[in-house]
């Protein structure tokens, strides 16, 4: 009780800063509008009167990972209502793509009054948390209202485990309110158990992110884009780049153009508010640049194509030969992004040295010859030149990437088999 009081007090102090960042107007960022009230538990009632399955995701990445699981759940439980909560507005836009399959609500802040109000209105039959988004008051009131909580696709890095050890009483209090933890890997399960989680609560079901099924319309859209670009041109994509990485990527592309003057870089910033500034950077550096929303033709002279749309990453990767994954060149700030989407599209992968958020996946791809780690712009350019010069090597990396994905599928079915809804 004492720790929740202290925690709630700290949350009250930092909440204004969190909300300011969340609501701050940014270019291309979807607005919350009047729905800001939902962050305080003032959530609209659901269209269905049946008790729903509540699935919590944070933002776009978690929603994308959870989508195949949600579709499988609806096949298993067609009469069950599913409500998906996100914290961010970009996550909400991604949920909307599922249409009538689910209902979306914003996740309330973890204040007792907000959570109690939300639970009373939604009245869920169970809470499924994607990955490890654990909120003490949410877990407490779910337990108090007999709402079973399952953490799905759970991962716990060594760094996070050490941090939890420093606040063991807080972690134990949260863990006591969790009914089941379904882990991505044995290492994750061992770390949860080492922190004191009861062994019978922890199971390994694999990563649901491997269960990727690329819709045929996306494959066709990617091919259509590639036809427009030119099937004989060397094309690479830098996906989900962060501030500080674009300059490195552009420098690598400049070196590539010296050997392959017709090469095209598809540059996709991670955050929509950065679309315009990245395009300006490319133009200032003297590159012939167009963006996707302008619908301008990609000419033979076009050197950089800015992917300034949301939800089209798979299409853009499909139109490329090689994928460099961002969030991996700026020290320990981000920890990389998921390489499984380019792998599922059979694309050779490159990544920077900081990929701790997806360490196991990245290391598996590297070990299988599907991915290379690059530390500098020079190394990125060298690998690009080598792969564009050696089509056999490029194809071998692509096939190895797809092989890793296919080998590890099945986590969604294993997860659903463990759920009692």
What does the alpha-carbon distance between residue 205 and residue 225 come to, in Å, rounded to a whole number?
A: 37
Which one is catalytic: 38, 62, 103, 245? 62
**Residue 150 CA, distance from chain mean position:** 19
Residues 6+ apart with CB under 8 A from 218: 314, 315, 318
**Residue 172 CA, distance from chain mean position:** 27
CA distances from 222 to 128, 263, 275, 283 (A): 33, 18, 20, 25
Among candidate residues 386, 362, 348, 118, the one with its CA nearest the CA of residue 252: 386
CB 264 within 8 A of CB 300: no
User: Can you list the alpha helix ranges (DSSP code H) found in 285-350?
Assistant: 313-318, 340-344
Q: Which burial class, exposed, middle or buried, applies to 349 when counting CB atoms under 10 A from its CB (0-12, 13-18, 19+)?
A: buried
| N residues, the chain | 421
Among candidate residues 178, 238, 220, the one with its CA nearest the CA of residue 203: 178
Cα dihedral value 13, 14, 20, 22, nearest 10: -140
**DSSP letter (8 states) at residue 38:** G
CB 61 within 8 A of CB 325: no
What does the alpha-carbon distance between residue 369 and residue 401 come to, in Å, rounded to a whole number?
A: 8
CB 144 within 8 A of CB 176: no
CB 305 within 8 A of CB 278: no
Strand locations in 87-209 (E): 103-106, 126-130, 149-154, 180-183, 202-204
**Residue 88 CA, distance from chain mean position:** 13
Q: Taking the CA atoms of the chain, what radius of gyration do you get in angstroms?
A: 22
Is 62 a residue of the active site?
yes
Residue numbers annotated as active site? 62
């Amino acid at each position: 009780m004492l720790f929740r009081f202290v925690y709630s007090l700290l949350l009250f102090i930092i909440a204004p800063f969190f909300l300011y960042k969340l609501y701050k107007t940014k270019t291309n960022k979807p607005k919350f509008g009047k729905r800001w009230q939902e962050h305080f538990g003032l959530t609209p009632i659901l269209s269905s009167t049946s008790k729903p399955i509540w699935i919590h995701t944070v933002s776009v990445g978690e929603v994308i990972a959870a989508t195949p699981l949600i579709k499988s759940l609806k096949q298993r439980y067609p009469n069950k209502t599913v409500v998906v909560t996100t914290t961010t507005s970009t996550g909400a836009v991604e949920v909307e793509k599922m249409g009538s399959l689910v209902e979306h609500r914003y996740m309330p802040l973890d204040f007792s009054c907000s959570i109690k109000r939300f639970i009373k209105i939604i009245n869920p039959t169970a809470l499924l948390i994607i990955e490890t988004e654990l909120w003490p008051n949410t877990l407490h009131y779910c337990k108090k209202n007999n709402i079973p909580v399952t953490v799905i696709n759970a991962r716990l890095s060594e760094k996070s485990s050490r941090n939890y050890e420093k606040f063991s009483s807080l972690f134990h209090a949260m863990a006591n309110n969790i009914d089941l933890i379904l882990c991505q890997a044995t290492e994750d399960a061992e770390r949860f158990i080492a922190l004191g989680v009861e062994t019978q609560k922890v199971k390994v079901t694999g990563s649901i992110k491997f269960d990727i099924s690329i819709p045929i319309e996306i494959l066709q859209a990617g091919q259509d884009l590639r036809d427009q670009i030119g099937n004989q041109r060397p094309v690479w994509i830098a996906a989900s780049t962060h501030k500080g990485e674009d300059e490195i990527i552009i420098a690598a592309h400049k070196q590539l153009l010296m050997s392959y003057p017709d090469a095209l870089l598809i540059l996709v910033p991670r955050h929509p508010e950065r679309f315009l500034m990245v395009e300006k950077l490319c133009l200032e550096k003297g590159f012939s640049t167009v963006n996707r929303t302008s619908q301008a033709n990609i000419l033979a002279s076009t050197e950089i194509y800015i992917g300034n749309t949301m939800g089209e990453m798979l299409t853009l990767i499909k139109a490329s030969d090689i994928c460099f994954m961002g969030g991996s060149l700026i020290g320990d700030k981000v920890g990389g992004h998921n390489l499984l989407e380019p792998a599922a599209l059979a694309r050779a992968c490159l990544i920077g040295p900081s990929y701790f958020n997806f360490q196991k996946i990245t290391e598996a791809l590297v070990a299988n010859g599907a991915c290379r780690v690059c530390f500098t712009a020079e190394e990125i350019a060298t690998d690009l030149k080598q792969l564009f010069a050696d089509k056999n090597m490029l194809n071998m990396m692509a096939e190895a990437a797809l092989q890793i994905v296919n080998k590890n599928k099945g986590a969604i079915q294993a997860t659903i088999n463990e759920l009692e809804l």
